[in-house]
Amino acid sequence: MNNKQSSSNRSVNRRRFVKAAGAAGTVALAGCSGNGDGGDGGGGDDGTDDNDRGGNDGGDTTGTPGQETITLDWAADPRIEQNKDVVLSELRNAGLPEHIELNIIAGSSVTDQRQDQYTQWLNSQRSKPDLLMMDGGWTIPFIVRDQVENLENHLSSDHIDTVNEEYFDSAVSTSKSQDGKLHAIPMWVGLPGMGYRKDLVKEAGYDPDGENWATEGITWEKFSKVVSEVKESNDGIEYGYTFQAADYEGLSCCNFNEFLSSWGGAYFGGNLFGPIGDRPITVNEEPVLNSIRMIRTFIHGEDDSEALDGYAGNIAPEAVLQWNEQNSADPFLNGNAVANRNWPSYIKDASEELGDSLGFMPIPHAVSADEAKYDGRGGPVGALGGWNMTMNPYSEKKEAATEFIKATMADSFHLEAVFKGVGQIPPKPSVLSSEGASEVPEIGRFMDTFRVIGENAVPRPVTAVWPQQSSEISGEVNTTLGQSKSPEDAMSDLESSLKQIEESV
């Protein structure tokens, strides 16, 4: 798919394109760098479509005067678009050359829709967008299909080593091919936690600070009682605990993964990365069933035929069965809920809305790590989400795209753009530990909590068959949470369909 055209033709066409795109809202980076020259790069040479800088790995920041402007199309997150000014200026500070401009294509905030969009683009072997941000939950299926570029062919060994040695392991494992080659660079990680109304909890007589909720978390049993009490004693608050239990990827990858892990259970005996067909299916086990009974108690109360003793009921609305991240965050942001499980970006929003009233802790647990049936489970667990940066293998601007990826790996970019700007957690623990991180106004104060969540994060089961398994899991779990099936029947059915999928490849 190497579309070689006459270079002279292309240079004229490209200049015209850049001008047109600029008029149509293309983001010109030159303005962000203080250079002020947002022009089209002048009469550059008629080189190839990629820039002619040669593979310098140093990321020097000065573009060659008169070098031809290259515009990269970047399929990114809506939050990137919302914070494009800081993102673009930090890219420039991190070494993105002056002659490389960016056109940000903000995709849907719904992960499944982004996946569908990319599938169509890459199946048709389009050369644009040059760069695609992919959910860590479905990067591997694209890697398996050779639909993302092997970055080890473009980045220096230093860059590769940095990712392998300094990034969160769980995030890196979503970015590699079967033979261990890096095809994506983690852009940020999702470390979910529990936001709660600290002011109301204190009014109810609890002492979150004294009991170290922020770093040690609490049990689900205690959590349910706290939420129930606070809800009962505050007439103005309609909801207790809000989370995401709609029939979608977010339930299977994350919310349910957290519930069952917090009970010490696991999807595949803890073996989330395969090999496919050669790992146990462990959904039809007591820890998993108990986690379902617990959620049903939260939603339907003690009257539910599966209700667990000792847990306060009716603390979550039945509406959670239709809610995703945004739906579940809204009541909490409006001061209409006691607690909300969500991702850091929403915690940032909540911090802005609620100020000092906001408390933040790891997701509660039912059993400790020592009592858990599987390694790495129990205690304060959180499903590690996150998004990766990938390069389109059909791109005609791979050198420029490589320069861009290098710039996104800079610590300054992680801290200023990803953490402060977008409100997401950088993929390098060292950035989280830095002084700059704790000084970030909205979420810097929760740094200790994020570190605990990061240390106890449960990876997502990201194999090539995960998208199919995910849909089976979310379907069965949503059904049993809605009382249409018993937990035993749902998990037994799920066990057999997961087994079938494992054996189908």
Interface residues with another protein (CB under 8 A) are: 112, 115-116, 119, 123, 141, 144-147, 238, 246-248, 276, 317-322, 327, 331, 464-465, 467-468, 471-472, 474-475, 478, 482, 484, 496-498, 500-501, 504-505
Concatenate the DSSP letters of all residues of 294-336 into one string: HHHHHHH-TTSTTPPTTS--S-S-GGGGG--HHHHHHHHHTT-
CB of 73 to another protein, least distance (A): 22
Q: What is the 3-state secondary structure (H, E, C) of 202-233?
A: HHCCCCCCCCCHHHHCCEHHHHHHHHHHHHHC
Among residues 394, 324, 385, 472, which one has the least CA distance to residue 142? 394
CB of 223 to another protein, least distance (A): 22
Q: What sign does the dihedral 102-106-111-116 (CA atoms) show?
A: negative
CB of 10 to another protein, least distance (A): 28
CB of 319 to another protein, least distance (A): 3
Closer to another protein by Cβ: residue 40 or 149: 149
Among residues 501, 460, 472, which one has the least CA distance to residue 247? 472
Residue 473 is which amino acid? I
Closer to another protein by Cβ: residue 71 or 175: 175
Closer to another protein by Cβ: residue 118 or 213: 118
* Interacting residues of 137 by C-beta distance below 8 A, sequence separation 6+: 111, 174, 249, 253, 385, 460, 462, 466, 470
Closer to another protein by Cβ: residue 276 or 307: 276
CB of 490 to another protein, least distance (A): 12
The region, left, alpha or beta by phi > 0 then psi within -120 to 50, assigned to residue 205 is left
DSSP-assigned beta bridge partners for residue 458: 383
Q: How far is CA 182 from the centre of its chain?
A: 18
Q: How far apart are CA 475 and CA 490, in angstroms?
A: 9
Closer to another protein by Cβ: residue 233 or 504: 504
Q: How many CB atoms lie within 10 A of CB 503?
A: 9
Q: How far apart are CA 9 and CA 12, in angstroms?
A: 6
CB of 280 to another protein, least distance (A): 17
Closer to another protein by Cβ: residue 392 or 478: 478
Closer to another protein by Cβ: residue 269 or 482: 482
CB of 432 to another protein, least distance (A): 34
Closer to another protein by Cβ: residue 80 or 501: 501
CB of 1 to another protein, least distance (A): 13
